[in-house]
Amino acid sequence: MPASPRTSGNLMPGFEHRVNRRKPDSELLDLRWQKPLGYIRFVLEDAARRVRESRAWFPRRFYRGDCHAHSQHSDGIGTVAEMAAMAKAAGLDFQYITDHWGLTHAAECRKHGLWIGQEPGAHLHHLGILNLKKVFVPSQNLADDCREVTRRGGIPFIPHPAGWWPSRVYEPEALQALTSLPDPFLMEIVNGANNVVSAFDYTDAAAIALWDKLLASGRRVHALGNTDAHSPHGIGTVWSGVFAPRCEEAAILRALAAGRCFVSEAPLLDLAIGKTGMGQRARQRGPLRLLAADARGLLRLRLVADGRILRTWHPNGKPFVRLALPLPKSVRTYVRWEAIAMDGKRGFTNPVYLT
């Protein structure tokens, strides 16, 4: 059996008291949780600083928030208090806790300033629900559940529509089920489950491909970006930047339900056709107005329409791009705008729809 440092006698003189193994086990257990949490906190504080700097380039008012995370009230490992502390470090304006099996987290969420949702398992998908005061028990029909949640005054959304990191990939039947949902509906296009620092992975690339497919078929699908954090370490990796007049739950939910947000890991984005903004239908084919800002520099910008890339720009690290151009005649159903920053962080606008 290999000797442990505690008993090896191989230490240089005077170092006996300086190795971590000499700490009491209880203290080491605490450190093994607290240290990584502290490191992630530094990353989140830096991300918040970056957004603050980017705001100087971005003329729109928006609130940053996450509509999907879990605590120890279901399968998360963080307490509600720990999740709240990290959301604050990340500089988020709002954070929902959406535990899986009820609303036992509600009282603690109210105490710590977090907003309350739920995420029961439904037919072929999980079902994200915001703003319902009572536990929702899904049926065997996802479209009926969405309608029923809305009827009761809640806001339904589809989390991780194609699967989640690292290995859950939904079958075609699950993707097909989304074509039956009432129009418009809300869907995560970036989900950060089991990711830290960066949320975007192949399951999100699949969600975006699915989103473009639904949009190109004429469906209105408003996008959300949520961490699905199951630990405080996962908070803040992706968020929705909501164009609401104030940061109060009813105003934020109205804006989200109308698609008035962009989804981001860092870049700030806006898109309009004439005076018609994200989530709305353009009745006239006015000029396209595009905005992108990231204090750490923009690497690539893309305009996507009708399921294909229409145009690409390479800003070479510029922190701000503002463009006005005619809407190409070929565009039929929708147009959206996306960015990658110099360090690979991504952002996506919601679409403007064409009638």
Interface with Zn ion includes 188 (CB under 5 A)?
no
**SS3 letters for the chain?**
CCCCCCCCCCCCCCCHHHCHHHCCHHHHHHHHHHHHHHHHHHHHHHHHHHHHHHHCCCCCCCEEEECCECCCCCCCCCCHHHHHHHHHHCCCCEEEEEECCCCCCHHHHHHHCCEEEECCECCCCECEEECCCCCCCCCCCHHHHHHHHHHCCCEEEECCECEECCCEECCHHHHHHHHHCCCCEEEEEEECCCCCCCCCCHHHHHHHHHHHHHHHCCCCEEEEEECCECCHHHCCCCEEEECCCCCCHHHHHHHHHCCCEEEECCCEEEEEECCEECCCEECCCCCEEEEEECCCCEEEEEEEECCEEEEEECCCCCCEEEEEECCCCCCCCEEEEEEEECCCCEEEECCEEEC
Q: Shortest gap between Cβ of 36 and Zn ion (angstroms)?
A: 21
Query: Is the CB of 159 or the CB of 232 nearer to Zn ion?
Result: 159
Interface with Zn ion includes 192 (CB under 5 A)?
no
Q: Shortest gap between Cβ of 234 and Zn ion (angstroms)?
A: 10
Q: Which span (21-29, 32-40, 153-161, 338-346) binds Zn ion, by CB under 5 A?
A: 153-161
Query: Is the CB of 159 or the CB of 267 nearer to Zn ion?
Result: 159
Residues 117, 159, 225, 232: which binds Zn ion (CB under 5 A)?
Answer: 159
Interface with Zn ion includes 126 (CB under 5 A)?
yes
How many residues make contact with Zn ion (CB under 5 A)? 4
Query: Is the CB of 44 or the CB of 69 nearer to Zn ion?
Result: 69
Q: Which span (83-91, 154-162, 184-192, 250-258) binds Zn ion, by CB under 5 A?
A: 154-162
Q: Which span (38-46, 47-55, 204-212, 227-235) binds Zn ion, by CB under 5 A?
A: 227-235
Residues 204, 228, 265, 294: which binds Zn ion (CB under 5 A)?
Answer: 228
Query: Is the CB of 204 or the CB of 228 nearer to Zn ion?
Result: 228
Query: Is the CB of 129 or the CB of 298 nearer to Zn ion?
Result: 129
Q: Which span (13-21, 56-64, 210-218, 226-234) binds Zn ion, by CB under 5 A?
A: 226-234
Per-residue contact track with Zn ion, 102 to 121, x per CB under 5 A?
Answer: -----------------x--
Enumerate binding residues for Zn ion (CB under 5 A): 119, 126, 159, 228
